[in-house]
Amino acid sequence: MTAARNAVSVWTARVVPVFLALIVAYASYVITGPLAIQFLLNPPEGLPKRTALGLALPIAYLFLLIPVAATWVRLLVVVWREPGYIPLGAPRDPAAQEPAPGLEDFWLLDAFACDARGLPIWCPHCNNWKPDRTHHNQDVGRCTLKMDHFCPWVGGVVGERSYKFFVQFNFYSFLLSGYTLAVLAYFVAQGGESNDLKVQWLIALGLAGFFAFFTIGITLNSIWMVFRNVTSIENIDAFSRTMLLAVLLPPELQGKTLEGPPTPPQAHLRPDSSPSRSGESEMPLTSDLDDPSHSTYFSNLQTPRPPRRSSNLPFQERIWRGTVTYPLYLPIDRPPLPAPQPRTFAILETLPGMNVWDLGSAYRNFKAAFGDSPHDWLLPIRHSPCCDHTSLISQYPLGPDFEELLIEAGLVARPKHFHPREDVVPHDSKSATASRKRRRKRRLDDGWQNGERPDGWFSEKEARRVRNDARRRMRGDLPGRDAYQ
């Protein structure tokens, strides 16, 4: 049944784009032929000839058609050639005790989505570990990075590599459809055409009206999700969904046996100056998530936040789910190299409605999907910046909710002006939405994704550089690392 469904879906995704191209061709014919040539340049008897209008209308139509064609071709090429599928793994023996290979791609990061055991999410259909925000699509039978939806109009699965082009295509299609709708509606209302011309105008008018409303709806909904940094799948239960994250423990907790959540660290500053990225610190650390001290992290905020009612962490027990230490095992047939240093991760469950990938503002989320410059926003050339997975921190950039999660879990010292949650309330209520907007007027420092720590995080620069170089060399020796790039 699954194979049959896949075959039908793939066949439909190949046929529908051809049907869509025929619709565009027919609308182009109506604008240039029955309207411009047969009615404006060679009008019926008794009507004046309107040469300027007969030339301007198809030229403007062609001007709007070019970006539609460019984005559509770019979208089809990406969707058909490399939509962002993860590699298929070899079938696993159900009796096998050791996890499947490839865990190094996850535990060498500092944070990744996991299951209750602290393992990355496993796809039994693709026989491979699923990177963050990856979903399996039953229509094509493959897992896709940051999958949004399966769209037969564009020939397949829309994911991180094609979502930008998908939104551009719908936006330009709306402009073209809206222009066609307005032009044909005007001349149909004017009257004076023959019955043959009127029939063709009405058919094209109906098609233009349908696609104008269809594409503007998709465009607005897509932009709304881009502003919130969620996909269509993640948006289904965005305000109530929880997920598990494996987060590298701070250096002082590495190698210790934890029976429960740790005691929150206290922020500490050097008495002579504020922390900086100069690399000066009292001692080298062993993690890119260095000593979690955020004492000056929100110092640029102008509005004071209400004080916390209590010093305890009301959600710590709910968030904390345990720990896991990697590597889980060392192959006996590996080369005689030094064993990798163990890394212990905390398994944390997000609170309802948390989105650790929301970067804190609509503009920063928009740039993560469309790029930094206006020509990236408008031209279907470059892929989205979120396709870059070279960061050693996480698969995707992390936002303020990630830091809030660390604070509530007791892994990060609470900043002076931080306003934590007092209770978990239904996130579909107006009060919860307003409170959430107020709480998220902050952002993680760019250093989180550039291998540096924000101001307020003590870090030893040279030790960190050595660690990063060693980790890059280790990752470079692993087979299949480029499969996710």
List, for residues 53-105, the tens digit of each pLDDT value. Answer: 999 999 999 999 999 999 999 999 999 999 999 999 988 877 777 788 889 89
Q: What is the pLDDT of residue 414?
A: 76
Residue 285 has pLDDT above 60, yes or no: no
Does some domain include residue 261?
yes
| Residue 483 confidence class, pLDDT cut points 50, 70, 90 | very low
Q: For 84, phi and psi rounded to 5 degrees?
A: 105, 30
Residue 265 has a pLDDT of 66
Burial of 438 (0-12, 13-18, 19+ CB in 10 A): exposed
195 and 306 together in one domain: no
pLDDT band for position 418 (cuts 50, 70, 90): low
The domain tally of the chain equals 2
Q: Is the pLDDT of residue 441 over 90?
A: no
| 275 in the same domain as 172 | no
Instruction: Give the per-residue pLDDT at 422.
Output: 55
Residue 283 has pLDDT above 60, yes or no: no
pLDDT at position 312 is: 61
How many Å apart are CA 214 and CA 227, to the nearest integer? 20
pLDDT (tens digit, 9 = 90+) per residue, 250-272?
888 887 777 677 776 654 433 33
Residues 223 and 281 in one domain: no
Question: With bands split at pLDDT 50, 70 and 90, how would you rate the model's confidence at 227?
Answer: very high
Distance CA 110, CA 87 (A): 23
Q: What is the pLDDT of residue 290?
A: 38
pTM of structure: 0.78
Query: Residue length, the chain?
Result: 485
Structure tokens at 24: 């565009």
pLDDT at 276 over 60: no
Report the distance separating Cα 197 and Cα 206, nearest Å: 14
Contact between residue 100 and residue 127 where contact means Cβ atoms under 8 Å apart: yes
Q: Does any domain span residue 308? A: yes
Q: How far apart are CA 158 and CA 155, in angstroms?
A: 9
Structure token pair of residue 255:
């190698």
Domain limit, last residue, from 213, 234, 255:
234
293 and 204 part of one domain: no
Whether residues 224 and 314 fall in one domain: no
Give the pLDDT score at 484. 39
Residue 309 vs residue 464, higher pLDDT: 464
pLDDT digits (tens, 9 = 90+) for 294-337: 333 333 333 333 333 334 678 888 899 999 999 887 666 666 66
178 in the same domain as 282? no
Is 272 within the bounds of a domain? yes
User: Per the domain annotation, does 410 fall within a domain?
Assistant: yes
- 314 vs 276, residue with greater confidence: 314
Q: Can you give the pLDDT at residue 20?
A: 92
* 258 within a domain of the structure (yes/no): yes
Structure tokens at 90: 């070899």
Q: 359 with 399: CB under 8 angstroms?
A: yes
Instruction: Report the distance separating Cα 294 and Cα 300, nearest Å.
Output: 13
| pLDDT for residue 48 | 86
CA dihedral 100, 331, 346, 235 (to 10 degrees): -20
What are residue 142's DSSP bridge partners? Answer: 137
pLDDT value of position 453: 44
In a domain, 290, yes or no: yes
Instruction: Examine the fold and report which residue of 202, 234, 266 is the final residue of a domain before the chain moves on.
Output: 234
Question: Which among 38, 43, 235, 25 has a CA at the least distance from the CA of 147?
Answer: 235
Q: What is the pLDDT of residue 122?
A: 93
> Do residues 162 and 311 both lie within one domain?
no
Span 224-239, average pLDDT: 93
List the single range of 5-9, 34-38, 226-230, 342-346 with lowest mean pLDDT. 5-9
Statement to judge: residues 255 and 229 lie in one domain: no
Boundary-marking domain end, from 234, 255, 278: 234
228 & 278 share domain: no
pLDDT, residue 251, reads 84
Q: In whole angstroms, give the CA distance from residue 453 to residue 276.
A: 9
Tokens in use for 301?
Answer: 């905020």
pLDDT at 262: 75
The number of beta carbons lying within 10 Å of the beta carbon of residue 480 is 13
Which sign does the torsion angle of CA 234, 240, 245, 249 carry?
Answer: positive
Residue 417 forms part of a structural domain: yes
- Mean of the pLDDT values across residues 408-431? 64
**Averaged over 159-182, what is the pLDDT?**
96
Please report the pLDDT score of residue 428 as a whole number. 47
Q: 433 is in which domain, residue-wise?
A: 244-330+337-359+397-484
**Average confidence (pLDDT) over 435-462:** 46
Q: Are 198 and 286 contained in the same domain?
A: no
> What average pLDDT is seen over the chain?
78
Do 189 and 321 have their domain in common?
no
Token code pair at residue 120 = 């990355």
pLDDT(477) > 80? no
pLDDT for 410: 86
User: Beta strands 121-123 and 320-326: pairing type?
Assistant: unpaired
Token pair recorded at residue 46 = 């008794």
Top-confidence residue, 4 or 130: 130
Identify which has the larger pLDDT, 483 or 26. 26
Q: Is residue 284 part of a domain?
A: yes
| Domain match, 179 and 56 both | yes
